[in-house]
Amino acid sequence: MEALRAWQNASSVVLSCPGPMRRHTAALLPVGDAVLPQVFLGGESQLLAFAAAAPELAGRLFFAALPEMFSSPASLPDAWKTLGQKEHAAGPVVHLRFGSIRDARMLKFARNAVVVAETQSAAPLTASHHPFASGHTLPAATKRVFVYGRETIRPKLIGGAEIPATKLPAACITADLAASSFADGSSGFAPSSRGESAGLELVSLADFRSGLWAAGVVPARRSRRGSGAPETTEHGTTVLVPWNLAHFGSIVPDLLERLASLRRPGDRMPRIVLMPFNYLGQTGMIRRLIASLRQAAPDPDVMLSDTFLARVSALSGLPALRRLSRLAWVDGNDPEHWWTTARLNAAGFTAVLIDPSPDAIPGPTTQVADDTILVENDTRYGALSFEVRLPSRRTLPNLLALTAPGRRPRRQAP
Amino acid sequence: MKRQHASAAQRTTRSRVTPQHDDAVDRLFTAGGVTLHIDISTLIEHQWTGIPTVAAGLASAFLARMPARIRFFLGTSLVETQIVADALRRNTGLFLERELSSGRALAGPLPILMRQAASGPTIGLFPSVKPVRRAFDIECNVVHDLSTLVLPYFHIKGNVDHHMAGMMADIASSDLVVTVSAASRDDLGAYLGVQAARMVVAPNGAAWPEGFAVAAANMLTPHGAEPYLLILGTREPRKNVMLVFDMLERAPDLLASHRIVFAGKMGWLEEQHALPRALEPARASGRLVFTGFVRDDVKYRLLAGAEATLYPSLFEGFGLPVLESLSAGTPCVASWSSSIPEVGGAVCSYFDPLSAGDMLRATREILARRREEGEALRQRCRAHAARFTWAAAADIILQRLAPLVEARL
């Protein structure tokens, strides 16, 4: 790849992103063998899109679930051995890290670069002693930042030093989708064929069990109310809501609570399919959401049965996802909202941006977020507070109206 | 009875240190009137494992080497040396805490708070987080690992807050940063940009009272004792005991031929390393044993009697249980993660910490080596472990402090 020209002599290019490490069978794997929980959004999708955009690196691309545990070049031969490779080409190793800036980690003996998909500042209001809590600081050993063809956050090294940035080609955004026959709803799948839901893991909040979710096992069970999986788009009221678990100021839990509080028996409210991404293997945020919906909803059992979690564990799950809905609400406060929107659009979905910017103009794909709230979370980086905006109770009906059958916005080009 | 205890304590202290140092440093410290103040805040815990063990090892070594130059402190108060020495002999902070609570252990303010200047340069040695900063002429803190920085999701929030609250300021205010492994030193460089020239690697030691080996030899019953594999350490997600469970599910023959003993207190985030339902019968029938925290003498006996120890940790600053195993003459099957190969050297069998299959391979390999090599393997383990002593760690630190002292004389 042109962007990596300076590192063309690398013997191996190791890719990594945050995620549940216990899903992997070895510390180092060919990229194709990595088991990633959510390949459509977030760090995992950034990694896979890069891999698909760099076929010339294919034989040298590896995935490391936990690069920070490699202590020295001597660790690599052990890892190759596990892969059954007695020898491996000598030469420098390049490590590309994907996902949240806050979670950037190093492969210590490699040339480290961080790929940044975050496009806006989401610095917490509260101070944390954790050096990486701000989300704007990278480890000292980061040699380069790669960015997509758009203005992104320009993180600095710890200590404040600037770091060179290089643009990645546009192919790195959707190359995996383009290579897949499931990328666009207009091609490659027959709605009635069996097995299309392979690659889409779906469970209602009522049926959610953290242990099973963490293990990547999502049983195809019906919920207590018998509603089962959400129905196809013909039902007309299903909305996908991407949820960045690495963004501790996400409005998604508050948005759902707000929707729950508006709910009245007999109302036709949209059915929400949450799409958590940047999932590290812990389910605390999901469990907290369930607990808060139990408090907020007048009919919590109905709400939990009608709200779903979905993961695209393989792109072959996209057709099934599209049958659920082609409409998504994207949290504009989320640092990765641009990436999320681009991916949704490229895969045949329409993204309605919940736009927190003061100069936001309402439109068919934009809902103004007019209510400022403080989101506080006890996180692994300390207690972090974020000032974010979401639709007020007064304007939320506008967002719901955009969702109503016949009012849906047309899909935008990526 | 009291005399017997004192005698055992003296043997303990002797066994912790090996005279292998350069006297020039001692002369420099004496001539310059240097006092080395050691923070005891980590020693107040009742059960010493991990960082308190390291603090105790270093404190014992410094005290044995230059008793006249050592002071102990807590917060901004000096602490009676004899009371700390007693805690070190007893290997628990139980009585130390009582004496501190009553005020009997306090011995006045730190030199910086006194009107009269100290007779020579003062050094503050902090075995972990610094409760006070810039209170000594020269400061030196020990960084054990960066797991709370790099892998915060393996910890509860309190742990992360405790270690992160002052890490940057601790490092910035220290003239010398001690790491317990090259891996931790490299982490400090890679993540926080700490310059190598400001750091020194002083590997931990392992020491047992001399009587432990004798007692263990007398208590073990080679004929009739059931072979077992031991997993030693606090149970927390980073220790990766789930991999052991995965391995046992793959290899029921191993569970049939060996009992599996987990020794160590329960740590945190238990739901992430809960015993799988498939192995519940093994626990019920006693094939899987969870002892909880064990005293040092029991730990030694468990180590010495095991066929091998298993150490699947995902990330370590050092890996003290590996060294403890080898020092008891028991081979260790360890993950090759982070600092562990520095500690285990060539005598351990290593495996990929994400691969239960690789762990099984390494375990079978070490069991075969035990059968083939017998006592020779045990001796090699002990010989390797003997390179790691608290005295050597103390000496490395003193050697690096010497130029800093000279610059202030």
Per residue in A81-128, pLDDT (tens digit) is: 666 665 566 678 899 999 999 999 999 989 999 999 998 766 788 878
At A149 the pLDDT is 75
By C-alpha distance, the chain A residue nearest B184 is: A71
At B16 the pLDDT is 42
Closest CA to A302 of A350, A267, A344: A267
CB contact under 8 A, A380 and B152: yes
CB contact under 8 A, A106 and B336: no
By the 10 Å C-beta count (0-12 exposed, 13-18 middle, 19+ buried), A100 is classed as buried
At B376 the pLDDT is 96
Q: Report DSSP state, residue B386.
A: T
Q: How far is A19 from chain B (nearest CA, A)?
A: 11
Residue type, B40: I
Closest CA to B249 of B367, B351, B359: B359
Residue A297 Cα distances to A301, A373, B275, angstroms:
9, 20, 36
By C-alpha distance, the chain B residue nearest A215 is: B272
CB contact under 8 A, A71 and B314: no
More confident residue, A37 or B187: B187
Sign of CA dihedral B50, B314, A89, A96: negative
By C-alpha distance, the chain A residue nearest B152 is: A380
Examine the pLDDT at A188 and tell me if it is beyond 60: no
CB contact under 8 A, B354 and A21: yes
At B13 the pLDDT is 39
At A123 the pLDDT is 77
Which residues of chain B have a CB within 8 Å of the CB of A139?
Answer: 190-192
d(CA B340, CA B353): 11
Examine the pLDDT at A221 and tell me if it is beyond 50: no
Examine the pLDDT at A226 and tell me if it is beyond 80: no
Q: If you average pLDDT over residues A253-281, what whole number do you get?
A: 86
Examine the pLDDT at A265 and tell me if it is beyond 70: no
- Top residue of A17, A25, A63, A68 to mutate, by most chain B CBs within 10 Å, is A68
Global pTM value: 0.89
Q: How far is B33 from chain A (nearest CA, A)?
A: 37
CB contact under 8 A, A27 and B355: yes
d(CA A281, CA B289): 27
Q: If you average pLDDT over residues A355-377, what whole number do you get?
A: 91
Q: How far is A112 from chain B (nearest CA, A)?
A: 10
Q: If you average pLDDT over residues A362-389, what whole number do you get?
A: 91
CB contact under 8 A, A68 and B150: yes
Instruction: Give the list of residues 6+ apart from residue B249 with CB closer than 8 angstroms, or none.
Output: B276, B278, B279, B356
Is residue B351 within 8 Å of residue B335, measured between CB atoms?
yes
CB contact under 8 A, A129 and B337: no
Examine the pLDDT at A230 and tell me if it is beyond 70: no
Which residues of chain B have a CB within 8 Å of the CB of A384?
Answer: none
Coil/strand/helix, residue B135: coil
- Residue A232 at interface with chain B, using a CB cutoff of 8 Å: no
At A44 the pLDDT is 96
pLDDT band at A74 (very low <50, low <70, confident <90, very high): low
Coil/strand/helix, residue B34: coil
CB contact under 8 A, B164 and A130: yes
d(CA A397, CA B384): 72
pLDDT in tens, chain B (409 residues): 333 333 333 333 334 444 456 789 999 999 999 999 999 999 998 888 889 999 999 999 999 999 999 999 999 999 999 999 999 999 889 999 999 999 999 999 888 877 666 689 999 999 999 999 999 999 999 999 899 999 988 888 888 888 888 899 999 999 999 999 999 999 999 999 999 999 999 999 998 888 888 888 777 555 557 899 999 988 788 899 999 999 999 999 999 999 999 998 776 666 666 788 888 898 899 899 999 888 888 999 999 999 999 999 999 999 999 999 999 999 999 999 999 999 999 999 999 999 999 999 999 999 999 999 999 999 999 999 999 999 999 999 999 999 999 999 8
CB contact under 8 A, B350 and A78: yes
d(CA B107, CA B117): 17
Q: Report DSSP state, residue B279.
A: G
Which residue has tokens 């910035």? B172
Q: Report DSSP state, residue B266.
A: B
Which residues of chain A have a CB within 8 Å of the CB of B354?
Answer: 21-22, 24-27, 65-66
DSSP per-residue string spanning A193-222: -TTTTTTEEEEETTT--HHHHHTT------
- Residue A74 at interface with chain B, using a CB cutoff of 8 Å: yes
Residue A224 Cα distances to A290, A297, A304, A310, angstroms:
15, 17, 10, 18
ipTM for this model:
0.88
pLDDT band at A410 (very low <50, low <70, confident <90, very high): low
Average pLDDT for chain A? 83
CB contact under 8 A, B353 and A106: no
Examine the pLDDT at A249 and tell me if it is beyond 90: yes
- Residue A56 at interface with chain B, using a CB cutoff of 8 Å: no
